[in-house]
Amino acid sequence: MAGVCALLAALMAGIAFPAGAVADETGANAPQVDLVLDVSGSMRTKDIDGKSRMAAAKQAFNEVLDATPPEVRLGIRTLGANYPGDDRKTGCRDTAQLYPVGPLDRTEAKTAVATLTPTGWTPIGPALLKAADDLGGGTGSKRIVLISDGQDTCAPLDPCEVARDIAAKGIGLTIDTLGLVPDVTLRRQLSCIAEATGGTFTSVERTDQLTDKVNQLVDRAADPVVTPVAASGADACAKAPTLKSGLYTDREAFGEQRWYRVDVRPGRELRAAVSVSADRPVDPSYGVLLRAVTAKGREIVRGEAAGTGRTDVISTGLRYPKAESDDDTAPAEAVCLQVTHSFSAASGVEAGPGLPLELTVDVVDGPSRPADVASFGLGRGWWLLGALILAGFLAGAVRGWLSRWRVAVWRTN
């Protein structure tokens, strides 16, 4: 697993961003973040640095607002902030936009946060639906940061299903979650919400941890974004579409194989990684396989990973260096990538459409002199081994001759 993670990090670091991939940080292309804060009654509890959870959240928000990059369009939404009664139907509609997503007026936003008082229910699912609408359109990155101290109280609207529905829309929205209570059940729900959209879950127990993590997520929204390109894999290598370096999205049905083609010139190295995510309930044991094969079907290299139901996303990757050629006119090699997964739909769950698939392809310069590298790693190694053996044999022979000579001289005397 550590090798796969290192490979994926290398792939992402090595991608050459195409022109226009880095977001124009103005107008419709600006990064957007919506901070969604739980203001339910349980936020009165005093267990964070000797003060209430609400006080810790307010302090963290003030510091985050001071540090927000100017290019980020930031908003704040609350859940459970306004209705103190016992009517469930009303309590589950209690979500409001405290500060609209847009250019940040720090004083105005801080003033709005200062008015908050722990009040009502915990309608996480409805709040996420509204937060997705808060972010609107545009091509910049979109991120929801949910801070909560309790589970959703508005079932059967499952917030994890809401997150999956948001992910299925393909609007590139990521949900990160932070839990203010070290509770196993809360961790499970918030982790599921985050994993459905490729986000992260973090458990925080101190004010400085909350501040640091929210700052990190807001800063991450301002990072350059590579826009995925829709691709349609074929059912055989011969029919596969030819891909260049980039990030691609597709869907793969249960029991299906998807094929893609990449041309690799001599002296270049192919790096590829694939992630398949379960956007609906699946059986708990599954895996994903990524194979690189020649046009004639010979396997070159493969990457594979397995899961046991603890995460909704599974990833693997591979690398293939194409040796240099003395012929400058040597053609590129057609390498076919085969993606297969072993997810299976849980009982009663619709099989279609296929599961979301994300494929990263990068073709970079290979080792400067692969022939020399191979020679040093193997050929020169054998020469060195042979030289050591010969030296050992000669040293033994000389030592034996000297020993016999000494014995002969001793006998003579």
Better-scored residue on pLDDT, 136 or 239: 239
Alpha carbon distance 349, 169 (integer Å): 19
Q: Beta strands 142-148 and 268-277: pairing type?
A: unpaired
Q: pLDDT at residue 164 above 70? A: yes
Residue 400's pLDDT is what? 63
Q: What is the DSSP string of 220-285?
A: HHTS--PPPEE---BSSGGGPPB--SEEEEEEE-TT-EEEEEEEE-TTEEEEEEEEEE-SS-B-S-
Q: pLDDT at residue 111 above 60? A: yes
Which residues are within 8 A (CB) of 92 and not within 5 positions of it... i.e. 6 or more apart? 121, 123, 126, 153, 154, 157
The length of the chain, given as a count of residues: 413
CA 20 to chain CA centroid, nearest Å: 22
Which residues are within 8 A (CB) of 280 and not within 5 positions of it... i.e. 6 or more apart? 164, 345, 346, 349, 350
What integer best gives the mean pLDDT of the chain? 82
What strands lie across the sheet with 333-341, from one edge to the other? 257-264, 333-341, 286-294, 299-307
> Domains in the chain, start-ordered, CATH in brackets?
23-221 (3.40.50.410), 229-365 (2.60.120.380)
Q: pLDDT at residue 366 above 50? A: yes
pLDDT tens for 259-280 read: 999 999 998 889 999 988 877 7
- Residue 254 near residue 351, CB atoms below 8 Å: yes
Q: pLDDT at residue 387 above 50? A: yes
Rounded to a whole number, what is the distance in angstroms from the first to the last CA of the chain? 72
Which residues are within 8 A (CB) of 244 and not within 5 positions of it... i.e. 6 or more apart? 262, 361, 363
Residue 308's pLDDT is what? 74
Q: Nearest CA to 302 among 294, 293, 310?
A: 293
- Residue 144 near residue 176, CB atoms below 8 Å: yes
What number of other Cβ atoms are within 10 A of residue 4's Cβ? 17
Confidence of residue 25 (pLDDT cuts 50, 70, 90): very low
Q: Nearest CA to 111 among 141, 76, 83, 142?
A: 76
Q: Nearest CA to 250 among 340, 311, 334, 347?
A: 340
Q: pLDDT at residue 96 above 80? A: yes
Q: pLDDT at residue 381 above 80? A: no
